[in-house]
């Protein structure tokens, strides 16, 4: 007997995924809003030029802009999946999210944390102050959008601790090598804190960042379980059936 399209869609959807995605409804709306915010941030870089615009590496010297770029790719693939209802593109979006969501959480934590200590650690003297809306767009909206997408429109992460640590370490130390290359050409670091720290201290900062990003991944896994439950094995009429934790009826 041929399956109804809606039934096939439910079979593809993870049992813990709270809302339909890919879909042309709420999922597409979230991805559209996110992409509009990201486009606003990129437009700001063009309409408010500074010395970084003409330097080697452009604004991609900043971890903020690298994270914003990855978030943009993640949501662009997600929106394409929504519009085409492609499960393959949806899977690619989820794979990208494993890196982009924890990375944006790391960026938000580091930026707002360092800024609370001393704004001069992350904002050079020559840089004009960011308006609150612009600051929010760069340093909060990407993390919020990706976390919402994970919690309500995605299956749970399946990455284990060691692979998460390896991915985080690759990103952190890859960024370190990149900014050192930019420094060789530009003779300045993108963030003032890098000028203050010596080489050993910078290594420690990037190692700490890798650990913090791994912790962010673990916290997202935990938060997903809090919001959506966990999969457990339950015996129903002699068969193994996956149910949400706390769901005694197995529905």
pLDDT in tens, 81-90: 999 999 999 9
Cβ contact 67:196 at 8 Å: no
Q: Give the tens place of pLDDT for each residue, 231-244.
A: 765 545 554 455 55
The answer to whether residues 22 and 90 touch, using CB atoms and an 8 Å cutoff, is yes
pLDDT of 36 > 50? The answer is yes
**Is 0.85 topped by the overall pTM?**
yes
Q: What is the mean pLDDT of residues 124-150?
A: 94
For the cut 80, the answer to whether the pLDDT of residue 245 exceeds it is no
Cα(81)–Cα(100) distance, rounded to whole angstroms?
17
pLDDT band with cut points at 50, 70 and 90 for residue 6: very low
The answer to whether the CB of 123 falls within 8 A of the CB of 52 is: no
The chain-wide mean pLDDT, for the chain, equals 89
E strand residue ranges, the chain: 231-236, 239-244
Half-sphere exposure of 25 (CA within 13 A, CB side): 6
* Angle, in degrees to the nearest 10, between helices 161-186 and 199-228: 140
Amino acid 12: pLDDT = 66
Percentage of the chain beyond pLDDT 70 is 87
Q: What are phi and psi of 68, to 5 degrees?
A: -65, -40
> What is the band of 4 on the pLDDT scale with cuts at 50, 70, 90?
very low
Q: Is the peptide bond before 44 cis (omega within 30 degrees of 0)?
A: no
- pLDDT of 240 reads 44
3-state helix, strand, coil in the chain (%, to 5): 70, 5, 25
Report phi then psi at 154, rounded to 5: -140, 155
Biggest CA-to-CA distance, the chain: 70
**How many CB atoms neighbour CB 21 within 10 A?**
25
């Amino acid at each position: 007997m041929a399956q109804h399209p809606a039934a096939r869609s439910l079979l593809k959807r993870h049992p813990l995924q709270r809302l339909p995605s890919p879909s042309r409804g709420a999922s597409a709306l979230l991805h559209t809003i996110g992409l509009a915010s990201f486009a606003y941030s990129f437009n700001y870089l063009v309409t408010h030029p500074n010395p970084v615009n003409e330097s080697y590496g452009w604004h991609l010297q900043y971890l903020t802009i690298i994270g914003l770029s990855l978030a943009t790719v993640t949501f662009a693939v997600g929106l394409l999946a929504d519009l085409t209802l492609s499960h393959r593109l949806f899977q690619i979006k989820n794979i990208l999210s494993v890196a982009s969501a924890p990375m944006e959480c790391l960026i938000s934590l580091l930026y707002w944390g360092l800024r609370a200590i001393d704004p001069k650690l992350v904002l050079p003297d020559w840089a004009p102050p960011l308006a609150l809306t612009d600051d929010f767009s760069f340093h909060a909206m990407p993390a919020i959008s990706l976390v919402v997408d994970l919690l309500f429109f995605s299956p749970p992460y399946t990455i284990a601790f060691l692979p998460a640590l390896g991915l985080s370490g690759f990103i952190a130390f890859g960024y370190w090598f990149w900014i050192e290359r930019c420094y060789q050409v530009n003779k300045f670091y993108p963030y003032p804190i890098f000028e203050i720290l010596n080489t050993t201290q910078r290594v420690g900062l990037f190692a700490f960042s890798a650990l913090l990003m791994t912790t962010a991944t673990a916290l997202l896994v935990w938060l997903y379980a809090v919001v959506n439950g966990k999969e457990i094995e339950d015996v129903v009429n002699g068969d193994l059936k996956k149910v949400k934790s706390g769901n005694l009826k197995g529905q």
